[in-house]
Structure 1
Amino acid sequence: MNGTQTIELRWFYQEDLPTEIANWFNTLGSNGTEADARTDFYLQSNSPEVGIKIRQGNLEVKHLQQQFDKIDIDEFGESNVEQWSKWICDDRSAHPPATGKQGWIQLDKVRQQRFYRVEFDDPLQLIPIGTPRKNAVAIELTTLQLYERTWWTLACEYLGDNISIDRQFLSIVRTLLVNYPQTRSQPSISGGYPQWLMTIARDLSISTD
């Protein structure tokens, strides 16, 4: 089982992905990959601190280690910054579970990512997918289909150790978002997938018994 530590910031929006956002993301450059379409299966949880999912036959578990004080990022408003631990059992033997009353949620995604090497005294350097990601930052744009509703999510994630949230991580985030379209509405939710899924289940009064 492989384990990693991440610092993450994520926003969710309930709407179709706006063309202006898709066009902006394309201006970030290409790392030689196309959009990745996949179906993930999440175990419905009553805790925003634990995420369990099956992705492409792998079992993945995420645990919230720390939630930092809310910070203000320009047009996004107040946002959560979180530190997560993630473990992946990558034997690809897990089968897609039955959804519905068994407590599993099917989430269809189309995800795009860009990875950058972080050298704190130098500009961010775009790196190909497959390059070792230690001390790297990713920006992700993903469209979501859940319960016949459409969402999209934007996230920034740092994979590494010994980073200052205020002086380094947030500086990186603002650099990546410097040309983000200024006309967007406020996000519906700022937080990780477990919190988002809990909110959806509560709003729709979904039972997982």
Structure 2
Amino acid sequence: MRASLEMRWFYSGALPKSIGQWFGSESLGGYLSPPEEREDIYLLVPDCDYLGVKLRGKALEVKWRQAELGAMPFGNRWEGKAEKWLKWVCADTVAPVPAEILATGKWVGVKKKRAQRLYQVSAPGSPMPVPVEAPIPQGCSVEVTQLNINGSPSWTLGFEAFGSESCLIENLETVANWTSKSYQAQKLKAEDSCGYPRWLAGK
């Protein structure tokens, strides 16, 4: 089980060129993961935006929202809603999800093309870019992901802070503040900010 603090935005359509160029620029540091392509299978549970269940390969991943921290501004172009999640990864058939929940929803495939960056936070306000596979104790990942459901494209920009629970907000704020300084593309609004379960409910 792992706790994280997440903030992301979702938008319909193709990924804007300006955001792809910003995410690939040297201003964000020297480490950028090669694009990863895969398809995740999500469980759609009616009227439930606090539970995320997906099949990723042969593993079942379950995320449970613990808290909503409200809108947080970063620079003059970002305002997003931060959410605290707990995550389980189940490599076998035993999952922390009641059978009646699994039975009430339907499954939908989401094709993804994801690029990631990772930042270590060893002191407040001082993020350090590191390779995405680096085993760091405190930090925050940033991703830009192109999404496709049944031929309909969307995209998301997301942050996921991890480490000691007492440092999650600090890790998110440190990395979001630093990366937002070089961002000059479209404004990202709090009304477009949510987790995957809420976004999928509207598809």
Q: Please classify the TM superposition score into its range, dividing by the shorter chain length.
A: 0.7 to 0.9
Q: Which residue of 1 aligns with 2:6?
A: 8
**Per-residue deviation at 1:147?**
2.8
**Per-residue deviation at 1:179?**
0.9
* Unaligned runs of at least 5 residues, structure 1: 93-100, 201-209
Question: Any idea what the Cα deviations from partners look like across 1:133-165, whole Å, max 9, x if unmatched?
Answer: 421110110000013211100011101121263
Which structure 2 residues correspond to residues 134-173 of structure 1 after superposition, within 5 A? Answer: 134-161=137-164, 162-163=166-167, 165=169, 169-173=172-176
CA distance in 1, matches of 2:9, 2:70: 16
Q: Aligned with 2:89: secondary structure?
A: strand
CA distance in 2, matches of 1:76, 1:138: 17
Q: Aligned with 2:77: secondary structure?
A: helix
Contact 2:2 2:86 in 1 (8 A): yes
Question: Any idea what the Cα deviations from partners look like across 1:14-50, whole Å, max 9, x if unmatched?
Answer: 1211111111001123436310000000001121000
What amino acid sits opposite 1:76 in the alignment?
A: W
TM-score when scaled to structure 1? 0.81
CA 1:53 to 1:32, structure 2 compared with 1: closer, same or farther past 3 Å? same
**Does the alignment pair 1:19 with 2:21?**
no
What amino acid sits opposite 2:115 in the alignment?
A: Q
**Per-residue deviation at 1:182?**
3.9
What amino acid sits opposite 1:26 in the alignment?
A: G
Superposed CA RMSD in Å reads: 2.3
Contact 2:31 2:132 in 1 (8 A): yes
CA distance in 1, matches of 2:191, 2:182: 21
Deviating runs (4+, > 4 A) in structure 1? 184-188
**Per-residue deviation at 1:57?**
1.2
CA distance in 2, matches of 1:89, 1:180: 37
Contact 1:58 1:88 in 2 (8 A): yes
**As a proportion of its length, which structure holds more strand?**
2
**Does the alignment pair 1:116 with 2:110?**
no
CA distance in 2, matches of 1:23, 1:181: 11
CA distance in 2, matches of 1:15, 1:175: 27
CA distance in 1, matches of 2:35, 2:86: 25
TM-score when scaled to structure 2? 0.83
Q: Which residue of 1 aligns with 2:64?
A: 63
CA distance in 1, matches of 2:42, 2:30: 29
CA distance in 2, matches of 1:34, 1:135: 23
**Per-residue deviation at 1:69?**
2.4
* Unaligned runs of at least 5 residues, structure 2: 94-103
Identity of aligned residues (%): 29
CA distance in 2, matches of 1:141, 1:15: 14
